[in-house]
């Protein structure tokens, strides 16, 4: 039944069926959760071998660095080789242009913004804050829908967020270039370039090249904050590859304007993985110097564990195929439910990601909050509507992020049954208000 073609009688009849079904779900007293993109226990089990790789007899490593002691602030050389290869940094540059830190890439993003804001990222840069002192705000471009924590980070610094449209191939680059050219107080853009959170899109080669070129047309100290959190997280081996922004920036002479981030949070252990970044040699030097004010060094024992367990890019890819085998059925359950119940009804659209952790669903305008609260009433927790937009404000109130990796498959199926019922219920209620 298509919502725009059905008669009022048909819609009323369908509404009463959906209401009954909704009540039946409420009576089940479910407690299901499709909110945060976390790996499941079965995924975490894949990396248990990591815990056996370093012990009292074998902590010596190639460079004879004692990982138990202070120092090596920028990370073990072998860890730079491993994680730098995920960021497509060329071998000859890796040691100077990659920084390997502690357990979180978000921490490295926070520090990067903090350092750029207060001190200048590389030595000699003017701090963004000097612009604030001159009475001008700092602004950041935020492709939407996007990752909520990028937005809350900006909010914490008082950075004004400018939403930018996503096209399915990354941000609308005509809009981005026009904004950046017209306003030198824009100091950066957030990007999740492969299997974006939540849309799942992969930025096209043209988009990557144009983003790498922004440093040439932007105001001073502009940064492309390239959060490649899902760089190797494809659901199948035909998933779209991502062009290297490192190579694009190198050829355009803009490496100072691109900072890449990543972590093994969704490769090995979330919360006990390794975060890393890469940029120009000068930025990495500046970052390391500033980071040294906060710590004498990150956990090198965990870095060594990761090097031994994952070995190299091939090792990472083989390991990620095991993750894909676990989470593929869950993504398939989400898609199957949406195709069975929402396809051809005119009540919503959704992404079909080839990787990452999310499915992005668009309700009819004005219904996301209603659907989320109906689902909560029936025991299914969804990411709050609006969370994927700056300041929690989705102007169309239509985006809902579904995160199917953590619950068991059976629970994903039940949660989706509740969800599609709520979508239909809210859509028809809106069409024929009582
Ligand atoms: C786009 C994106 N970046 C970063 C993170 C967090 O990464 P980390 O655990 O390395 O801090 C997440 C986690 O959901 C994410 O979706």
What pLDDT, on a 0 to 100 scale, did the predictor assign at position 60?
A: 82
3-state secondary structure of 142: strand
Which of 112, 201, 263 to probe ligand 1 with, by most ligand atoms within 8 A of CB?
263
User: β-strand 258-263 against 223-227: which pairing, if any?
Assistant: parallel
What DSSP line would sit under 310-346, residue for residue? H-SHHHHHHHHHHHHHHHHHHHHHHHHHHHHHTTTTT
| Average pLDDT along the chain | 97
- Buried b / exposed e along 368-390 (16+ C-beta atoms within 10 A): bbbbbebbeebbbbbbbbbbbbb
Is the distance from the beta carbon of residue 197 to the nearest atom of ligand 1 less than 6 Å?
Answer: yes
Whether the pLDDT of residue 433 is over 80: the answer is no
Helix, strand, coil % in the chain, rounded to nearest 5: 45, 15, 40
Atom 12, ligand 1: residue with shortest CA distance = 229
What percentage of the chain exceeds 90 in pLDDT?
A: 96
pLDDT at 112: 98
Q: Determine whether 293 is exposed, middle or buried from the number of CB atoms within 10 Å of its CB (0-12, 13-18, 19+).
A: exposed
CA 425 – ligand 1 centroid, Å: 33
Q: Is the pLDDT at 276 greater than 80, yes or no?
A: yes
Decide if pLDDT at 434 tops 80: no
pLDDT in tens, 315-331: 999 999 999 999 999 99
Q: Given the CA of residue 262, which atom of ligand 1 is nearest to it?
A: 10
Domains of the chain: 8-43+318-431 (3.90.1150.10), 62-311 (3.40.640.10)
State which ligand 1 atom lies nearest to the alpha carbon of 107. Answer: 11
Q: Is 192 in the pocket of ligand 1 (CB under 6 A)?
A: yes
Checking if the pLDDT of 370 tops 80, the result is yes
Q: Please indicate, yes or no, whether the overall pTM of this predicted structure exceeds 0.85.
A: yes
Mean predicted confidence (pLDDT) in 170-185? 97
Distance from the alpha carbon of residue 407 to the mean position of ligand 1, in angstroms: 19
* 199 Cβ inside 6 Å of ligand 1: no
- For the segment 183-232, what is each residue's pLDDT rounded down to a tens digit? 999 999 999 999 999 999 999 999 999 999 999 999 999 999 999 999 99
Residues 149-171 pLDDT 10s: 999 999 999 999 999 999 999 99
pLDDT exceeds cutoff 80 at 346? yes
Average pLDDT on 295-300 reads: 96
Q: Determine what percent of the chain is predicted with pLDDT higher than 70.
A: 100
Instruction: Please name the residue whose Cα sits nearest to atom 13 of ligand 1.
Output: 37
CA distance 201 to 275: 23
Return the exposure string of 346-361: e unless at least 16 CB atoms fall within 10 Å of the residue's CB, then b: bbbebbebbbbbbbbb
Per-residue pLDDT at 132: 84
Mutate to test the pocket of ligand 1, among 38, 101, 106 (most ligand atoms within 8 A of CB): 106
CA atoms of 429 and 423, how far apart (whole Å): 10
Each residue's pLDDT tens digit, 36-65: 899 999 999 999 999 999 999 888 877 889
Decide: 37 in ligand 1 pocket, CB within 6 A.
Answer: yes
Check pocket membership of 147 for ligand 1, CB cut-off 6 A. Answer: yes
**Which pair of structure tokens corresponds to residue 293?**
């004010």
> pLDDT band for position 415 (50/70/90)?
very high
Please work out whether the CB of residue 264 comes within 6 Å of at least one atom of ligand 1.
no
> By the 8 A CB rule, do 87 and 262 touch?
yes
Q: Is the CB of 104 under 6 A from ligand 1?
A: yes
Ligand 1 centre distance from Cα of residue 102 (Å): 13
Radius of gyration from C-alpha coordinates of the chain: 23
- 357 CA from centroid of ligand 1 (Å): 10
Phi, psi of 175 (to 5 degrees): -65, -45
């Amino acid at each position: 039944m298509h919502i725009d073609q059905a008669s009022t009688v048909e819609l009323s009849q369908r509404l009463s069926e959906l209401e009954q079904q909704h009540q039946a779900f409420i009576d089940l007293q479910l407690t299901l959760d499709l909110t945060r993109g976390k790996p499941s226990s079965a995924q975490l089990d894949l990396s248990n071998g990591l815990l056996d790789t370093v012990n009292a007899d074998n902590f010596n490593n190639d460079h004879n660095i004692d990982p138990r002691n202070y120092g090596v602030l920028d990370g073990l050389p072998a860890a730079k080789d491993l994680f730098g290869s995920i960021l497509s940094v060329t071998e000859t540059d890796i040691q100077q242009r990659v920084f390997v830190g502690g357990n979180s890439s978000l921490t490295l993003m926070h520090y990067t913004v903090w350092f750029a804001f207060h001190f200048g990222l590389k030595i000699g840069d003017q701090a963004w804050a000097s612009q604030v002192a001159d009475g001008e705000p700092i602004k950041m471009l935020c492709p939407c829908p996007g990752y909520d924590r990028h937005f809350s980070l900006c909010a914490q610094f008082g950075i004004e967020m400018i939403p930018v449209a996503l096209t399915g191939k990354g941000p609308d680059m005509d809009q981005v270039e026009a904004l950046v050219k017209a306003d030198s107080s824009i100091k950066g853009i957030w990007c999740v370039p492969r299997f974006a959170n939540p849309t799942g899109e992969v930025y096209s080669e043209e988009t990557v090249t144009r983003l790498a070129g922004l440093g040439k047309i932007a105001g001073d100290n502009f940064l492309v904050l390239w959060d490649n959190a899902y760089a190797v997280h494809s659901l199948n081996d035909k998933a779209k590859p991502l062009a290297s922004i490192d190579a694009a920036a190198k050829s355009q002479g803009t490496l100072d304007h691109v900072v890449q981030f990543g972590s093994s949070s969704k490769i090995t252990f979330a919360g006990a993985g390794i975060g890393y970044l890469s940029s120009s040699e000068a930025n990495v030097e500046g970052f390391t110097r500033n980071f040294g004010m906060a710590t004498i060094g990150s956990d090198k024992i965990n870095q060594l564990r990761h090097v031994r367990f994952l070995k190299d890019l091939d090792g990472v890819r083989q390991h990620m195929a095991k993750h894909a085998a676990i989470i593929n059925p869950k993504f398939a359950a989400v898609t199957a439910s949406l195709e069975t119940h929402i396809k051809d009804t005119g009540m919503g659209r959704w992404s079909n990601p080839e990787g990452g952790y999310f499915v992005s669903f668009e309700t009819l305008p004005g219904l996301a909050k209603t659907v989320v609260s109906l689902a909560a009433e029936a025991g299914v927790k969804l990411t709050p509507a609006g969370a994927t937009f700056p300041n929690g404000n989705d102007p169309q109130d239509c985006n809902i992020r579904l995160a199917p990796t953590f619950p068991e498959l059976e629970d994903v199926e039940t949660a989706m049954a509740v969800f599609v019922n709520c979508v239909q219920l809210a859509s028809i209620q809106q069409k024929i208000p009582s």
